[in-house]
Structures are given as structure tokens and as C-alpha cells.
Amino acid sequence: MKIEKFEEMKVWQEARTFCSSIYKLTSKGNFVKDYGMKDQIQRASISIITNISEGFERDSNNEFVKFLNYSKGSAGEVRALLYIALDLNYISELEFKENYLKSISIITQLSNFIKYLKAASTKSKQS
């Protein structure tokens, strides 16, 4: 099945849900007062979803891989910021674990997709 729109991609859908989750997480407690931290984690979560979208629309596997790597990096950034939020008691251990696991799921999907696209690119060059 060929993906026609980025909205059809499972990883994009999960990134969308994750971004929403981060916004909800940062709209309460001590997070609200820490504008720098709140802004950074929100921007990184937005970057995950937007880089998937932008890369898809580039119509080139090489460009798509580049943007998927940016997205993967942003997911790692969110994960690091979750540790800081936990250390500062902005989030509970449960909130950390739930969002940590979501970030790992997204990173794993992105990694697998990158491998797939690179293999497909190599295969088409050999043909």
C-alpha cells in the first residue's frame, strides 16, 4: 500500500498525539512558570511532527530521510527534557514513563523507516 498523504503514516499520527500530550503536560504545575523549559519542550515536540510532514512533501527519498533524522533528533531532545522535568519535579514518575515510552516508540518507528528508505534507495540504484 502506497502512502498518499503524510497523515496516513502511523508515526506521524503518534507524533501528533505525543505533541498534544506534551502540551497538556506543560500546561500545569511548575511547568507553567518555567517559560524557557516549557517553550523548548513544546518546540521540540512540534519539530517531530512538522519534520515528518515537511520531509514527506519533498518528493525525494534522500530529502525525506534527512527530515526523518531531524524528527528523530527532536524526539531525543524531548526525551532529554523529560528527564530535566522529572528532576525538577515538574512531572511525576508516571508522567515521565508514559511520555518516555511514547518518545521511544516514535524514535524506533523513525529509525526503521529511515532504514527502509535507505534500503529502497540503494535497491533502486542497483537496478
Residue 71 sits in a domain whose CATH number is 1.20.1440.60
For residue 125, is it within any domain?
Answer: no
Instruction: Write down the pLDDT at residue 126.
Output: 66
CA separation for the pair 100, 42 (Å, rounded) = 15
What is the domain extent for residue 15? Answer: 10-120
Cα–Cα dist 45/17, whole Å: 10
Amino acid at site 29 = G
Per-residue pLDDT reduced to its tens digit, 18-68: 999 999 999 999 999 999 999 999 999 999 999 999 999 998 899 999 999
Q: Of the given ranges (19-23, 79-83, 121-125), which has the lowest mean pLDDT?
A: 121-125
- Evaluate whether residue 59 is within a structural domain: yes
**Number of domains making up the chain:** 1
pLDDT tens by residue, 90-111: 999 999 999 999 999 999 999 9
The H-or-E segment that residue 112 falls in is: helix 93-126
pTM of the model: 0.92
In a domain, 1, yes or no: no
Residue in the block written with cell 515510552: 101
